[in-house]
Chains A and B, each alone.
Chain A
Amino acid sequence: GEDVEQSLFLSVREGDSSVINCTYTDSSSTYLYWYKQEPGAGLQLLTYIFSNMDMKQDQRLTVLLNKKDKHLSLRIADTQTGDSAIYFCAESMRFSGTYKYIFGTGTRLKVLA
């Protein structure tokens, strides 16, 4: 199948680290993405990782990739109330000579002050 799975909810205290997990299905996926959706808005790209990488760090964000287990995680250090949003994991999948993006259900992060 083409399911990308994420847990639905995560609640953390301000200043703590948040870890959002994702499992994907296509072992040949070359690009994996994390998107953020704020209330009433579309999705915006947060970061991405190539499949030949194990880790990528971008300021407060750390992405870890375990290709063997098809597991992707996003760690947000020093989580702030402004980080409250829905976070989507996505894989870019080859199809019929083109490509498509398959998204997970999204994880709703709530940051408590």
Chain B
Amino acid sequence: DAGVIQSPRHEVTEMGQEVTLRCKPISGHNSLFWYRQTMMRGLELLIYFNNNVPIDDSGMPEDRFSAKMPNASFSTLKIQPSEPRDSAVYFCASSSGWGSEAFFGQGTRLTVV
């Protein structure tokens, strides 16, 4: 398996624009997690899915953020409208069950100017 695949790797956008980040989890994994990494706050859990169903979105900072998982092999994280304070590295991770490790993608570095 190629691992967790995220796209794009880098995204530069202007304030107010819509941004969509994409993730393909490892085949067979039933849980998918979206994290945001910043220097000050470390790795924050934004939302996670189990069997394509959103379980906990309490980490989503504002209504400008939304996430979907239409099927077991694809998820998106959307920011609309984007703001400069959204600039961070966004990671997607997947895992196969309780007690297993979380496998991370390479991340998307988002810069909002």
Contacts and interface: CB of A to CB of B under 8 A. Distances in A.
Interface residues of B, number: 23
Contacts of B105: 42
Interface string B15-36: 0000000000000000101010
A95 B55 contact: yes
Interface in B29-84: 31, 33, 35, 41-43, 45, 48, 50, 55-56
Contact of A102 (B4, B45, B55, B104): B45
Given A43-B91, A95-B55, A33 B45 contact: no
Contacts, number: 63
B45 A100 contact: yes
A41 B43 contact: no
A103 B101 contact: no
B35 to A, nearest CB: 7
A45 B3 CA distance: 13
